[in-house]
Each structure stands twice: as structure tokens, then as C-alpha cells.
Structure 1
Amino acid sequence: MTEIRTPRLLLRRWRDDDLAPMADINADPRVMHWIDDGSVRDLDQTAEDIERWEEEWDEEGFGLFAVELLASGELAGFTGLYMPEFLPEVMPDVAISWRFGTQFWGQGYASEAAQATLEFALQDRGLDRVISISRLGDTASENVISKLGMVPERETVHPEYGTALQVHAIDLTEFQA
């Protein structure tokens, strides 16, 4: 089982007891504001998401980690790698993503988890390049992306929702662990 420990976090595969706290995160309009069309997700949709994320682990050898606080055991959200099939123009690149509950914002958890995930992608999984896709104007995500050393590569539009997106990238030659 793939796990990564950071000073404050455990990045791990999903468990059954993660469903309710992740559904609470997905049900928060503040969390979902910058994701897809901004719609919240319910318990059933979250269950489908987690099932899909676990399938990606099995198929690709990477996926979205559940992020647990080491101090309390609470599920803070997720971070990890995924195939951004919704945006064919960037394929076959692998993207890094994160989503945390609002009570965990502003404490550096997203940056800590994303940095560990980027190291996992480039060093453990042997990827030469990782991208990040964010909605234009999502300054919180842009701050994390900047801390990862990723640079803007192009702007595009979400093919389904019509929202403006920014694609950032980093390759192994630029990565500083």
C-alpha cells in the first residue's frame, strides 16, 4: 500500500470511513467554487469519485491520496495525481491536484501534501513532467502551484463548462526536492 508521510500529514489510499468527511468537504460551496462549474457534490457522487480514484490507482499506479492529519487522524482532503482526460489537449500529461476542507486552509497543508506528491511523481513513479490545471483567478491554488516551482504554460478553456483555465508545468530537470 502506497503511503507518504510528511512532518504533519499522512498521504494514503482511501478507506470506507473517509466517505463521510470527504462528502462534507465536497458539499461546501466555498471548497467547490473553483472546481468544474462550482457545483457541490453529494454523498453518492463522492462515493463514485472515491471509487474512480481508487480504480485509477489500480490502472495507472498513481492516483489521489486521502490526506490525514498525523496529529488528529482527521481527513483533511486529498492531493495526488490524475489523468486529465477532460482536457484532451494536455494528454498524456499527468496532473497534480488537491482539495481540502476550509478548516484546513491557510495552514500550508496543501503545499506540504502537493510537494510530497510531486516528489512521488518525479522520483518514485518516474514521471518526467507534471502539470497542474487551475481556474484563472484561483489565487489560493496559484500560490501552491508557484511553491511547487511550476510555471505557466498556456491558457485554455474548460471544454464542458467554458471556464478559463491556466495550465502550469514542471519537468524533472526543473524540480528541486
Structure 2
Amino acid sequence: MSELETERLVLRRWRDGDRASFAAMNRDPRVREFFPSLQTEQESNASMDRVMAHFARHEYGFWAAELKETGQFAGFVGLAVAPFEAAFTPCVEIGWRLAVEFWGRGLATEGARASLRFGFKELGLSEIVSFTVPANVRSRRVMEKLGMMRDEADDFDNPMIAEGHVMRRHVLYRLRVEDWRGQS
């Protein structure tokens, strides 16, 4: 599936023209507050290449989020196979990252709801997870608005982050299809 639509967003495949906006977003310390570092243009391009490769392998991924009204690149929202091993993997995670000027409008929640619908209805997933560092209250709030639940026993050290780094510890939220159906 190449794209999803919500009231205000088009979630679509990435285009080369998204690279500059994505790199600018990944250089913003506010956007990268809960990541180990800012990204250089080369690192941002490599991240985008990985997202595009995920689409090629799975036919879904983190969609580029574009505002319907203006066509502006706002960031991304979508689903991806978690790229590491942990007690809860293999799994599909839901994630989002928006440029600061698009925060506080409910766009992450709106795009995530469409992504959940796609994951449960089109992909037939039984569960979708999300994770972040404990201090990332904004993302955790989105997870909770989506009906995702946290069990402290599931919290984990993210193997993608160096041992000893303050952001290695992550909280895990889950949403099972039965619970999602009960909300719909």
C-alpha cells in the first residue's frame, strides 16, 4: 500500500525531495531530545535509505507525513519491524517523528490511528508495540491516547543504544488487536 489518508495528513512513500526537510528535522535538538545525538545530513540520508529499504522488503513502513492542505513535509508516522532482538521481538512497532512546527496539533495521534488501523486490518497483526525513553512524556501521551498499555516488567535496555548511555533504558507500550477493536 503506497499511502494512507487521514483528515489532515497524507501518509505516503518517501521521495528524494524529502531529504532536506528530514535532515533539518534530524538536526533540531528539540526533535532529537530523546535520541543519543543529532544527525548529520549523511546520517539522516542513511536513516531515510533504511526506511525506504524497509518499504521495499515489507510494503509498509514509516510513511512520510505530508499536510493535505499545504503539501508540507511534516515528518513521519507509521509501522516498522523492530530492527533488534529483545524479549518482545520479533514485533512491529508504531512510531512517529514530527518537525517542531507541527507539534501540539494532534497530528502524531491522527497519523498513528491510521497506522494502527492499517496494521490490524490490512496486515492482520495481533499486536503492535511502541517504545521510548521514560522522560519522553509527549510520545508516551500519544501512546496512551492510542490505548496502548505499559507493564513496567516489559521495560528494557535498547540494544541500539550504547551500554551506559542515559537513554538506553526504554519503556514499552503494547496494543493487542482485541483491545484495539474494543476502542473502535
TM-score range, shorter chain: over 0.9
Q: What does residue 16 of structure 1 align with? A: 16
Name stretches of at least 5 consecutive residues in structure 1 with no aligned partner. Answer: none
Q: What does residue 6 of structure 2 align with? A: 6
Measure the CA separation in 2 of the matches of 1:157 and 1:86.
11
Let me know the Cα RMSD of the aligned residues: 1.2
Q: What does residue 69 of structure 1 align with? A: 67
TM-score between both structures, scaled by the size of structure 2: 0.91
Name stretches of at least 5 consecutive residues in structure 2 with no aligned partner. Answer: none
CA drift at 1:91:
1.0
User: Which consecutive segments of 4 or more residues in structure 1 shift more than 3 A?
Assistant: none
Measure the CA separation in 1 of the matches of 2:87 and 2:145.
25
Q: What does residue 44 of structure 2 align with? A: 46
Measure the CA separation in 2 of the matches of 1:19 and 1:55.
15
Measure the CA separation in 2 of the matches of 1:55 and 1:168.
26
Aligned residues: 175
Q: What does residue 128 of structure 1 align with? A: 126
**1:173 equivalent in alignment to 2:178:** yes
CA drift at 1:87:
4.3
The code of the aligned residue for 2:33 comes to H
**1:29 equivalent in alignment to 2:34:** no
Contact 1:85 1:91 (8 Å CA) reproduced: no
Measure the CA separation in 1 of the matches of 2:17 and 2:89.
33
TM-score between both structures, scaled by the size of structure 1: 0.94
**1:57 equivalent in alignment to 2:55:** yes
Measure the CA separation in 1 of the matches of 2:73 and 2:85.
29
Measure the CA separation in 1 of the matches of 2:133 and 2:43.
22
Measure the CA separation in 2 of the matches of 1:61 and 1:90.
23
CA drift at 1:133:
0.7
Deviations 1:5-41 (A, max 9, x none): 1010000000111000011100101101112x1x111
Q: What does residue 112 of structure 1 align with? A: 110
- Residue 11 of structure 1 aligns to a residue whose secondary structure is strand
Task: State the identity as a percent.
Answer: 33
Contact 1:77 1:100 (8 Å CA) reproduced: yes
The code of the aligned residue for 1:168 comes to Y
